[in-house]
Amino acid sequence: MTQMLRPAAEWELQSMIAKLVTNRQTAEVVGNGALRNAGRAVDADVVVTTASLRGLTLYEPTELVMSARSGTPLADIEAELGLRDQMLPFEPIDMGPTTGSPEGALSIGGVFATNASGARRITGGSARDHLLGLRAVNGRAELFKSGGRVMKNVTGLDVARGLTGSWGTLAIITEVTFKVVPQPAATGTLVYTGLPDDLAVEVLTTALGTPFEVSGAAHIPRRMAARLKLVALADAGTALTLLRLENFPAAVSERQGKLQAALKVYGTPMLLDTAASRALWRELRSLSILPYSADTSLWRISCVPTKGPEIVASIQKSMKADAFYDWSGGLVWLEVPTAADAGSADVRRAVAVRGGYATLVRASPQVRATVEVFEPMKPEIERLTRGMKTAFDPAGILNRGRMYASI
Amino acid sequence: MSRVAMPEPDAGPLQRRSIIVDDLARLVGRGALIWDEDGRRAYETDALTAYRSMPLLVVLPRSTEDVSKILRYCYDNSLKVIPRGAGTSLCGGALPTEDAVVLCVSKMKRILDVDYANRTARVETGITNLAISGKVAEKGFFYAPDPSSQLACTLAGNLAMNSGGAHCLKYGVTTHNVLGLKMVLIDGAIVDIGGSCLDAPGYDLLSLAIGSEGQLGVITEATVRILRAAEGARPMMLGFDAPETAGACVAAIIGAGIIPVAIEYMDRPAIAVCEAYAGAGYPLDVEALLIVEVEGSDTEIASLLAQISEIARPFAPKSIEISADADQSARIWAGRKAAFGAIGRISDYYCMDGTIPLGALPHVLTRISEICGGYGLKVANIFHAGDGNLHPLILYDANDPDSNEKAEAAGADILKLCVEVGGCLTGEHGVGIEKRDLMSVQFSQTDLAVQMRMKSVFDPAWLLNAAKVFPLASSEPMRAAMRFEAPAAA
């Protein structure tokens, strides 16, 4: 079995990395292993886990800031925030369960290393947007910091945000500092039923063009909607188009009325109250409508919102594919039948023509080893990407191959 | 002021100036060049006017392709380049050097595409910040970052400095409002970073590029987010006897779960000057004034302002006044946004830009008074209180060299204080030359090395805005080594 290194302090991680450099050994970097089945698999000499780098180091509710060691479970962070009626602004999603890993294992380091943003991204911003600073150890065994604990900070290059989405290939994050926000007092959801995908996206983008601060804009076509745990919606037997409003109670009800009036031509929506709304969006956030299955592969497509339905329709011409649209159509979770290339050729062609990026989230290890998991890079981007890898990790020991072969 | 040292200019480019002018004229046309002394003088400084240096020449390209040709030429000939927008930098970010070509994008200001359904606009970066909002206002949209200089400053400069503004408490700063960039690297390569989607896979080059102060490349186009404006907005003013009470009130508002669009703070000297200028109705008998603005429908605004008044009550404000109408709202903001100009009418001032954790406010304000008092200088404080960004304006006499030196020394002491209490050197103005030598107060040599390696990836010959941002002693080995390795002059 591969040796597992479990540093409990930054200096310990530094000395472990230094030793790996000396011994010319490579390392797979994990938190609590929640994302081990997502992305490309890493074949490394040892595993380094941040699981023992754990605990909050700063929480100032009135300054909306928190710091935590990177291995702290996301669930612990959210529990602590909940005590003060606060939350993470970007509603992080956990790709663990849909890729066959246990639920609730995701660490806060993993959230930022993969920029795992949920539905609120459309108005609230992404994980990357709310990162204020971090500490990390790079492949040179150097401990460094970037950013800080204050909201506005343009001191030097923004290396901290530059590390979000790098999947542990540049440095091992040891501590993150991020912005938090108050939980909204009330939530309401408008549910339009029976709309085809293109019309649904029209509703969603129109709603986002109103002043009512829609904080969730998703569309679940009929077959996928039947999987919802929320019985009232699952049993509707129809496609569901969802618009979330969050604010003080009076403002939510006022905005519901105004938004409904602005969207009158699309019919009369069902209205979900705070409790039902929260249950629904929590369910969507957990990706439980995309349960792990060996019979299907899962793609995550980021595109211009109005192009989402076209991309899906184009792919559906060549295979049976089921979609779930978030971000008003700009994020498509696409389930396709298991195949040798997970439908890669068709998916990438459909996306390339219309602009966007496709990431293969779930597929067998063999498929993920042979098919490009992340969108292939253009030559100039690849040149800069390789340059960054060399700058942070010249010996190529950290999570080599996790995103792209040989990087 | 002349405490910040710049390296000796290279003699080579100065001797070859006429050849360089002819070469560039062949590449992009003589009309795009400014080489006469009077013309160049307009570019010898930026808004940090204490520092001046005549550039070798100025190029005003009209397209990304022109920028590519110019940079490639500079790369092949080891010529330093100073990227420039409108030259409103307060930190010397656009200060030229005698051996450098100023590449100014101000002629590239077209709006290329506005996509309301997807809420994006693609523009050339020479456009002014306010012109973007101006274009989309007819449909009720706006571009959120709103630096005080928004009438004049370019998007290019906003991208370089990751500019904020009074309303970024709710809407974020530049990096939160940009989805894609077209950047030209020093070797002429044109790179598309990000795009029109809400996220892009791979390393977050967008984050590195935004706020990079012209160190990595020249950004010629950007895809920015445009947002639908709120139904309405209204500010209220809360006056307090003591700075700490105002600070505690800000904490209480945020602690109650209300995030206003803006919370601005002014101290007594700033209030007096801004009131004389704008006639906004600021209370003159208070030590600290908060301008708190909320957004929404009329009923939402009324409800939020009532809640804030209630939260403020235990802090015994000396005055509470809700803006009566649109006219007063405009004057309240005009006074605040004109603060720098208004203070400039009574004295020369040196504007600082540190950020601090809100809890440290009382301590920091006391120390700022002591620091400035110690140098025999007066200070007015303006503060984006919601996000901790502090703008002490140190009043001094620009014609008195001694006063100059004291203002700079007081400024440095204040910034060190900001770092000491857990904040940073600059919240939105950037490092430039002004805070370059203070970077080692905030960052270790390793932290700086990590950043400088990023520059080397994008700009291996260290030709772009070199000798800024990073302390000269730290960057010297790279600048020296790279000079040696750079291709010989043509």
pLDDT tens, position by position, A240-271: 999 999 999 999 999 999 999 999 999 999 99
Q: Which distant-in-sequence residues (6+ apart) come within 8 Å of A119 by Cβ?
A: A91, A215, A216, A217, A218, A244, A281, A284, A285, A326, A327
Residue of A nearest to B422 (CA): A149
Residues in chain B with CB shorter than 8 Å from the CB of A122 are: 198
* Cβ–Cβ gap B423/A150 under 8 Å: yes
B189 at A interface, C-beta within 8 A:
yes
* Cβ–Cβ gap B450/A392 under 8 Å: yes
The token pair that represents A385 in the structure block: 């990407």
The two beta strands, A270-272 and B190-194, are unpaired
Report helix, strand or coil for B228: strand
Q: Number of helices (H) and strands (E) in chain A: give both, helices first.
A: 15, 18
* Residue A83, min C-alpha distance to chain B (Å): 13
| Short-list A149, A172, A187, A164, CA closest to A29 | A172
pLDDT at res. A258: 98
H-helix segments, B313-444: 326-337, 339-346, 361-374, 401-420, 439-442
B161 at A interface, C-beta within 8 A:
yes
pLDDT averaged over consecutive 10-residue blocks of chain B (490 residues)? 82 95 97 96 94 97 98 97 96 96 98 98 98 97 93 96 90 97 98 95 96 98 97 96 91 90 93 89 94 94 96 96 92 86 89 92 91 95 90 93 94 96 96 96 97 97 96 90 47
Interface of B with A in 325-364 (CB under 8 A): 355-359
Interface of B with A in 139-158 (CB under 8 A): 140-141
Which of B300, B355, B430 lies nearest to residue A251, judging by beta carbons?
Answer: B300
* Phi–psi pair at A154, nearest 5 degrees: -120, 30
- Asked whether the beta carbons of A373 and A365 are under 8 A apart, the reply is no
Interface of B with A in 208-227 (CB under 8 A): 208, 210-212, 215
pLDDT at res. B356: 96
pLDDT at res. B362: 84
Q: Which amino acid is at B87?
A: G
Residue of A nearest to B430 (CA): A154
B168 at A interface, C-beta within 8 A:
yes
Q: Is the dihedral of CA B114, B119, B123, B127 positive or negative?
A: positive
Report helix, strand or coil for A334: strand
* Cβ–Cβ gap A152/B387 under 8 Å: yes
Distances B64 to A136, B68, B85, B192, B218 between C-alpha atoms, Å: 36, 6, 14, 12, 9
pLDDT at res. B342: 87
B242 at A interface, C-beta within 8 A:
no
Residues in chain B with CB shorter than 8 Å from the CB of A211 are: 140, 228-231
* Cβ–Cβ gap A149/B357 under 8 Å: yes
pLDDT tens, position by position, A179-206: 999 999 999 999 999 999 999 999 999 9
Residues in chain A with CB shorter than 8 Å from the CB of B162 are: 154, 158
Which of A152, A247, A302 lies nearest to residue B198, judging by beta carbons?
Answer: A302
Residues in chain B with CB shorter than 8 Å from the CB of A403 are: 201-202
Distances A188 to A156, A215, A271, B448 between C-alpha atoms, Å: 41, 10, 7, 47
Q: Report CA B181 to chain centroid distance, whole Å.
A: 18
Residue of A nearest to B425 (CA): A155
Residues in chain A with CB shorter than 8 Å from the CB of B214 are: none
B306 at A interface, C-beta within 8 A:
no
* Cβ–Cβ gap A182/B259 under 8 Å: yes
* Residue A148, min C-alpha distance to chain B (Å): 7
Residue whose structure tokens are 């705070």: A274
Strand order in the sheet with B100-104: B33-34, B57-59, B100-104, B80-84
pLDDT tens sequence for chain A (407 residues):
789 999 999 999 999 999 999 999 999 999 999 999 998 989 999 999 999 999 999 999 999 999 999 999 999 999 999 999 999 999 999 999 999 999 899 999 999 999 999 999 999 999 999 999 999 999 999 999 999 999 999 999 999 999 999 999 999 999 999 999 999 999 999 999 999 999 999 999 999 999 999 999 999 999 999 999 998 899 999 999 999 999 999 999 999 999 999 999 999 999 999 999 999 999 999 999 999 999 999 999 999 999 999 999 999 999 999 999 999 999 999 999 999 999 999 999 999 999 999 999 999 999 998 999 999 999 999 999 999 999 999 999 999 999 999 89
Residues in chain B with CB shorter than 8 Å from the CB of A330 are: 118, 197-198
Q: Can you name the residues that pair with B84 across neighbouring β-strands?
A: B104
pLDDT at res. B483: 53
| Short-list A9, A53, A1, A8, CA closest to A28 | A1
Residue of B nearest to A382 (CA): B202
- Asked whether the beta carbons of A361 and A298 are under 8 A apart, the reply is yes
| Short-list A137, A186, A121, A157, CA closest to A15 | A137
